[in-house]
A and B are shown apart, each in its own frame.
Chain A
Amino acid sequence: MVDLATKTILHDKLRFGITVAGVAFAVALVLFQVGLFLGLLDNASVTIEHAGADLWIMSKNTPNVDFAQPFPETRVERVRSVPGVENAGNLIVSFMVLSLPSGAQEGALVYAPEDFHAWSLPWKVTAGDVDDLRRGPYFFLDESSVKRFGAFDVGQYREVVGHRLKILGSTRDAKSFTTTPILFMDYALAQSLNPGTLRGGTTYILVKVAPGADVEAVRREIQARLPHNDVLTTAEWAAQSRSYWVKSTGLGLNMVLTIFLGVLVGIVVVAQTLYTSTMEHLKEFGTVKAIGGSNADIYGILGKQAAISAVVGFVAGVVPSMLARGPIAKSGLQLIVPLPLLGIVLVGTIAFCLLAALLSFRKVAAIDPGLVFRG
């Protein structure tokens, strides 16, 4: 079968280039926006997902992992007594003020687990040994803090809420949604730095369920014993932490609006170029009809041209998005483009390009094949 659709669309390379550019722009816009959004959301729950706990226990109505509220640390004993609990431990997550060598002050998010070995916090140590954190006024600082705190070296000192602490090591990939740098220190040290709030208190209890135990049953039992706390699975807690930022910051609305605009631009460009192309090729479509072709034959041509524009434009939009991941990562952001997202965007691009072709469908449906006789 002679491929009139492909040959015609490739015959006018400039127009095809404009169509593809329009689609590629829309695809890249959507991928960048959603990818950056997913990257930010990943930061919002990265510590939850890496900690290695099955259940998280927190104060009632804690909105997200960063905004923790203290409660008595002794509640962990009640948790440990629940059947099916293999391990339970306290974790303090708390904002503290860090003084920089310049004299400026910045906020820092302290993660202080009671037992560093029970939980994967931190999960990627690039310098130092977490066991040393128990020995005195020390802390580990994540490498991502350089943008906010400036360069640092292990062995240097920083003031945390007025106390001089030594940087004993560094970590990687421990980030918060707000980009507030994360530092890791001993549980007791964290309590001593903020005694007014944290003395005798913790902000989370992490629970590891015994192999074979029913996580949901354990969760229900803990919830029954700690009625003044919330008990969530890791997945629930990560989802809630991400959802908080989506809903409270308008980021979700911003993303939806950008996607809408991207898609709109893509549809308009494709519809406009396809329609113009259709108008210029009306006589050819009339000829197709005159030699016995039906409207379905012409719809097939237009649909195929729209699909070709969609697929080529999709590829042209994906390539820069993928190439940009490295430079974006260097700036401290993440562009996360999972395969399902690519699949959804591809299907959406084809669907929207076909939608854009509907305008042309309407035009060719009304073609009078008699126009082929006009000079």
Chain B
Amino acid sequence: MDFALTEQQELIRKEAAALARGFSLDYWLEKDRKAEYPWEFVKAFAAGGWLGMIVPEEYGGSGLGVTEASILLHEICAAGAGTSGASPIHFYMFPPLPLIKHGSADLKGRYLRRIATGEIVLSFGVTEPNAGSDTSRVETRAELHGDRYVIQGRKVWNTNAQEATHIVLLARTAPRDPAAPFRGLTLFFADFDRSKITVREIEKLGRAAVDSNEIFIDGLEVPAGNVVGEPGSGFYHLLDSLNPERIFTAIEAVGIGRAALDRAVQYAKERIVFDRPIGRNQAVAHPLAQAWARLEAAEAICWKAAWLYDRGRPCGAEANTAKLVAADAGFEACDVAVQTLGGYGYAREFYVERLWREVRLYKIAPISQQMVLNYLSERVLGLPRSY
């Protein structure tokens, strides 16, 4: 068992942190206030070749794994960027994975290079208003007409859809068979054709800088060559996105928790009330120590899940567990930070309230805490399914 990063991973950690910390908390405050996409940040990472991290070297990337991508995302969040900074970057990490793992040579050749440079901006179209977590009930339909599929339907919670050039899209190509409900779904790598896709932005609690949307797809034409992997097996290919997505959001929650905790600890050392730093009071100190301990524990399961994924081993239980415990640990750390700063914690200019709003998302997305517990009850503990 070896808990040390390799020399290369250590250098990735250090340099990713340096680049991310070049963007101040005020930069993120401003982006949040103006609801402006953090292009400067994304372009800095594109220029450094970071967006091609998981793209194979033969397609212009660096061919690294989910472990290294997790190191990057952790440092972005620990630098205080929050989901505002992590989301635009992680859209270069998990949506392309099914294409990398299952795409045809032709499809990879046409798109991976442009993903690695950041020329392509991806959206991810899985969740639907009438399906939610029950992915087998996706209603968006793709019909084959000659050599093209024509797609009709609706998706919701599409990050990046305002600016996306392409979308990884899940649609039904065969009726739902209750005996094999996840069969008959097909995964497409499609142009984001705005003459056929209408986008409506959803205002939300946090991460105003990065858009979330509802999209309406009416007659989107996708060449049959743009099916990722096998038609009808799209859901199974998608698992190569879904497990890494859980690992990434988990490690991001840990990073956000760390950013908030750092500020709270600093504040507890400096803020003098009743003639002493407030951090001398155990009622202040212990919650901070508790938050630190939970973040450490959550981080450990993130690395385990990433390690399993990168070795091609099953990681569903670990990826889901990482998401579960990290979302709680990250939220608690941010909540403790707000509490430690008292009234100032509630003020925007002290930064932690933005992190608190942003990290809250991870208890809901990419999968709710409750659905993780359902998964663990049924798949890991073998308990009967309740739904």
A and B associate in one complex = no
Residues of B with Cβ closer than 8 Å to A? none
